A = this chain, B = another copy of it.
Amino acid sequence: MASVDVPVALLGYGTVGAAVHRLLEESADEIERATGHRLRVTRALVRDTSKDRGFSPEPGVLSDDFATIRDDPAIQVVAEVMGGVDPAGDYVLELLRAGRPVVTANKQLVARRGAELFEAAAAGGVQLRFEASVCAAIPVIKVLRESLVVTNVHRVLGIVNGTTNLILSAMEGGRPYGEALAEAQRLGFAEADPTEDVAGIDAAAKTAILATVAFGTRVPLDWVDVEGIEHVTLDHVVAARALDMHLKLIGRATLVGDRVDVRVGPAFVDRHHPLAAVEGAFNAVMLQGDAIREITLEGPGAGGIETASAVVADMVSVVGTTGTGFLQNDPVWRKLERLPAGDLTSPFYLRLEVDDRAGVLARIAHELAAEGVSVARLVQQPGDGHAVLHVVTHEAPAGRVEAALTAIRALPESRGEASALPVVSDRGVEELGWT
């Protein structure tokens, strides 16, 4: 097939945009070998065309007028790398409505306005690809949509925020939360205002997108039950290690019958689980499905060049599938309900501080039994004038565990916190021994 120049455009020309342009130029031969085409950036939308930039496009490429991109019929794919929900969202919508395929790296945009964007893409018969919006260069969206097309994926488990994983890794080394956070900020992994990372907001957007694609149903952001790592203490980290587990911030999407549960929160991950070994700022996503059992993808989940690499791969995929009808569908094809938050079952780790006197254990066991929560493991540790109970339960509904905790907190013998964290394990909790 004769090589054809394919004009493409960028919305935004910051770190990622410039890296996309550089990769397209440096890898033009590789792309031509794969697609038969050379992708050439003919327009890039910026706010200020006179600003000095590290990687300078040819004269005439930079433009501060969106209409020059929207109205240029030669442009065959547009990459949105400007970030933010506005005006990026309106630009993407206009492009899709104009029948222009779009690639975006914008997780907040996909998580918040995905419904209308995909509707416009499907109506216009064009693709909207968004690999870079979740875990940068880790190709989890492509694998979900193209490799696992005949696998009913029923669970997605991920470490989808590198900053919090780095902080938790540092805490495993003995540093308290505040110190670990400060170190992550010093290294440039956490923002001065770290809320989006540590409160789980970033992870929630990514998990909502993964759930939407995996289950084919719209998962709005406000369905995601979110807990961050701000309240994780060294006590929890130490208890996890004593159980031969690792404390991780886990994004989890579960299909339970016809209902969907999506949550982000700290969890104890069994040492033998593939996510347990993910250290530092890395990300990993495990996809569990019928035919494939599970596939885990791990890699750097952030970074300008990593993100740019995913954007370029999406542009190449658009060019490689245009006109075939492939993936021009909205990934959402059904409307499932949300599972009531208390209904999701999991094994749980409970940490209970109680008076160290006769009969306490019996009362606690009674409260757990009253909610149908059965104990797989229990270790009592002497504390400072009181006792700390570490309990691992069998699989139980989250709501029953919470109800038992409420009852336990009301006991006169209860002292300090009574907290619960889900346990992630591929094996039965019976096999989870204390070391």
Contact = CB atoms under 8 A, between A and B. Distances in A.
Q: Interface on chain A toward B: helix, strand, loop, or mixed SS?
A: mixed
A416 interface: no
Interface stretch (A63-71, A301-309, A406-414): A301-309
A416 to B, nearest CB: 34
**Most interface-central of A148, A298, A308 (chain B CB within 10 A):** A298
Contacts of A306: 291-293
A160 to B, nearest CB: 15
A147 B151 contact: no
Interface stretch (A135-143, A232-240, A260-268): A135-143
Contacts of A303: 293
Interface in A119-162: 125, 131, 137-139, 142-143, 145-151
Given A150-B313, A299-B293, A34 B326 contact: yes
Contacts of A329: 33-34, 36
Interface in A288-341: 291-300, 303, 305-306, 308-310, 312-313, 316-317, 319-329, 333
Contact of A150 (B1, B312, B326): B312
Contacts of A276: 277
Nearest to A294: B299
Interface stretch (A23-31, A80-88, A378-386): A23-31
A235 to B, nearest CB: 25
Nearest to A27: B150
Given A292-B306, A320-B324, A325-B37, A139 B149 contact: no
Contacts of A297: 295-298
A246 to B, nearest CB: 11
Interface of A: 1, 23-24, 26-27, 30-31, 33-37, 125, 131, 137-139, 142-143, 145-151, 272, 274, 276-279, 291-300, 303, 305-306, 308-310, 312-313, 316-317, 319-329, 333
Given A292-B299, A294-B300, A319-B324, 5 more contacts: A33-B333, A34-B326, A139-B147, A146-B320, A274-B277
25 contacts: A1-B125, A1-B325, A23-B150, A23-B291, A24-B150, A33-B329, A34-B149, A35-B325, A36-B326, A137-B293, A142-B143, A142-B147, A143-B143, A146-B313, A147-B310, A150-B309, A150-B312, A272-B277, A274-B298, A292-B309, A293-B300, A293-B306, A297-B298, A319-B324, A320-B327
